[in-house]
Structure 1
């Protein structure tokens, strides 16, 4: 099961954040708002901003014109998402670089 994040019960009540969940599964990030999932490739997320508050934090995801502002998550959970997202993006970039290197090495060995 992929790691998920959501507002805490108190965070939801005190920030009026509504129902949302955020899941990171391999190379995709899914924001579910009001039961409607929005799936995006990790590499398509242009900006991830975590704004830490005293008790709760806000996570913002920017994908093109779409901006998702997710309020009410515990600060330690928001920090965990930020680390997990960065690790996922790094792993994706490493796989892409490895594939490019392998392709270049294959072309060089044929020439």
Structure 2
């Protein structure tokens, strides 16, 4: 187990050395860019988590407001249904007269 781990570390170090040699980069420069890149990615991930939490809070607030407005929406729906019931005979009469005129 330890031999395998040492082999992996050795291969990784050799690969890194080859990469740095072929790309003409200094180890300190590579370490700094890797650190900065990792730091930026962690910050972006933190921002995503913050936005997710904000979204969850806003979604909960919206659901609360919807539940508060449900009685008003139900009352409006009832009023619309009542209006449709009252106007239906008049619309039927208008449609009947239009049909008689087009015959």
Q: TM-score, normalised by structure 1?
A: 0.39
Structure number having the greater strand percentage: 1
Higher relative contact order (CA 8 A, sep 6+): 1
Structure number having the greater helix percentage: 2
Q: Radius of gyration: which is bigger? A: 2
Q: TM-score, normalised by structure 2?
A: 0.42
